[in-house]
Amino acid sequence: MAALMREKGDWRGASVNTAGDDKIRVNVERKIFPALADRDAQLVLSNVSFEVAPREFVVLTGPSGCGKSTLLNIIAGLDKDFEGSIDLGAARDQMTFIFQSPRLLPWRTVYENIALALPEGDPRVARIPDMLERVGLTEAANAYPERISLGMQRRASLARGFIVEPQILLMDEPFVSLDDPTAQSLRQLLLELIGRQPTTVIFVTHDRAEAIQLGTRILRLSPGKASVIDDVPVQLTPEQRRDRTAILAEQMRVFGTG
């Protein structure tokens, strides 16, 4: 049955290094979307190369369609059809992906969805009630995902991501299409969860304020055949990250007024 699910992508030029240290090394020389009946082959990423140190919160940002999500899928190992290499370092087996849509199993309850992220018989199931409380879903534990709001589904998705205690957390615009207060509370929740379980984060967003509020470092991708055009650290204290004016000022510094 695993064959049914396996992707058809090949390993053309891609390799997994095992340098053994904690750094994540991303080096995508070329990523091409193959030609289809109605469009030509398209160069999506070219020479995207960067390193991520442990506990960094790197935000990949750039205009829609610049290849941010494609890059994240490559880093996650979901897309293996590229030229270059990805090295997740020593923690490569403790990587987790929080998707843009919550991707919960609609036929399993919130609790079951979180429990399924853990291997069979893992003692950490005992921590699920605590995790549910932390993300504010205790009462929704036995609800089916389609019966709760999108904001709550995203909380469940966060809980599922954190219950496995990841060393590397990849996030693909996890807070889009939410109203502002809901997105805001989820961002605070994310910072809180990371505060308790420190982890390396690579976070994709096109929202500049969100990038500044969350990230310790911003990587800007150029539009078109994306490559890194800017790499700036964010200089905000945790308190300043709750302050809209400080975020706005830092946003001006990082992105300019344009």
Q: Give residue 154's Cα distance to chain centre.
A: 13
Report the candidate in 17, 165, 185, 168 with the shortest Cα–Cα distance to residue 87.
17
Query: Which member of 22, 56, 230, 243 binds another protein (CB under 8 A)?
Result: 243
By the 10 Å C-beta count (0-12 exposed, 13-18 middle, 19+ buried), 92 is classed as middle
- Min dist CB 221 to another protein, Å, is 22
Could you tell me the smallest distance in angstroms from the CB atom of residue 170 to another protein? 9
Residues 91-150 that bind another protein (CB under 8 A): 95-97, 99, 101, 103, 105-108, 116-117, 119-120, 136, 139-140, 143-144, 146-149
Candidates 18-26, 62-70, 179-187, 217-225; binding stretch for another protein (CB under 8 A):
179-187
By beta-carbon proximity to another protein, the closer residue of 245 and 258 is 245
Q: CA-CA distance, 232 to 212, in Å (whole number)?
A: 10
Residue 53: partners with Cβ closer than 8 Å, 6 or more residues away: 22, 23, 200
The yes or no reply on residue 256 touching another protein (CB under 8 A) is: no
Nearest to 31 by CA among 202, 171, 221: 221
Instruction: Name the token pair of 221.
Output: 């991708």
Given the complex with another protein, which of 120 and 256 has the nearer CB atom?
A: 120
Minimum CB distance to another protein smaller for 31 or for 155: 155
Residue from 76, 190, 211, 218 touching another protein (CB under 8 A): that is 76
Residues that bind another protein (CB under 8 A): 1-2, 4-5, 76, 78, 95-97, 99, 101, 103, 105-108, 116-117, 119-120, 136, 139-140, 143-144, 146-149, 151-152, 155, 160, 164, 181-182, 184-186, 188, 242-245
